[in-house]
């Protein structure tokens, strides 16, 4: 019982000298205070993928399922899609690590909606007598992914140039 009381007493009296000095130096030299540590884990990768789906009742329909999730949830997400649509009539067409799966999903849905495709939820359906096949869909999605990467690269480079110009 006394050992626990001593531990509790020492934890109350613990004084972090380093953080105290850091706070004072930041105030003294007008440096921004340390921000909170990021809530997301940067080493967990987010994936975006497309599954090709063939409807057994209507084989002339061209369907694709898009998804995005973090790496630990990848198998669970794909298994849920397989259970929903059936594992036999579906295969993995495209899977890439991305910066933001939700942003890429939105741009893919917007692009195909502008082509007058049926886009409901995670399902993309080509209109009847469309010239799109799996290869064209993969090429289009990879082009959209490349545009997304280019936008991110341009943003980082503009911020870097701005920082160099005004802070040196």
For the chain, what is the mean pLDDT?
84
Query: Residue 94: which residues within 8 A CB-CB, separation 6 or more?
Result: 48, 49, 50, 137, 138, 141, 142
Please compute the mean of the pLDDT values over residues 92-115 and round it to a whole number: 90
DSSP string, 130-149: ----HHHHHHHHHHHHHHHH
Please compute the mean of the pLDDT values over residues 123-133 and round it to a whole number: 88
- Asked whether residue 13 carries a pLDDT value surpassing 80, the answer given is no
- Phi, psi at residue 30, to the nearest 5°? 55, 45
- H-helix segments, the chain: 2-13, 17-28, 74-85, 101-114, 134-167
By CB neighbour count within 10 A (0-12 exposed, 13-18 middle, 19+ buried), where does 128 fall?
A: exposed
Is residue 90 helix, strand or coil?
strand
Residue with tokens 């630990």: 72
Determine the pLDDT at residue 6: 47
Determine the pLDDT at residue 69: 92
The ranges assigned to domains in the chain are: 46-157
Percent of the chain predicted with pLDDT > 90: 40
- Asked whether residue 107 carries a pLDDT value surpassing 70, the answer given is yes
42-82: pLDDT as tens digits = 677 899 999 998 877 887 888 999 999 998 999 999 999 99
At 121, the pLDDT band (50, 70, 90 cuts) reads confident
pTM for the full predicted model: 0.69
Q: Between residues 22 and 112, which one has the greater pLDDT?
A: 112
């Amino acid at each position: 019982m006394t050992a626990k009381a001593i531990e509790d007493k020492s934890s109350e009296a613990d004084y972090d000298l380093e953080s105290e000095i850091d706070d004072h130096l930041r105030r003294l030299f007008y440096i921004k205070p340390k921000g909170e540590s990021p809530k997301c884990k940067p080493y967990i990768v987010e994936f975006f993928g497309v599954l090709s789906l063939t409807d057994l009742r209507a084989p002339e329909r061209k369907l694709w399922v898009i998804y995005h999730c973090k790496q630990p949830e990848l198998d669970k997400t794909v298994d849920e899609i397989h259970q929903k649509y059936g594992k036999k009539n579906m295969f993995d067409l495209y899977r890439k690590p991305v910066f933001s799966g939700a942003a890429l999903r939105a741009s893919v849905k917007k692009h195909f909606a502008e082509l007058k495709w049926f886009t409901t939820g995670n399902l993309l359906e080509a209109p009847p007598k469309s010239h799109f096949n799996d290869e064209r869909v993969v090429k289009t999605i990879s082009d959209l992914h490349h545009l997304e990467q280019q936008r991110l690269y341009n943003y980082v480079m503009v911020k870097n140039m701005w920082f160099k110009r005004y802070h040196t």
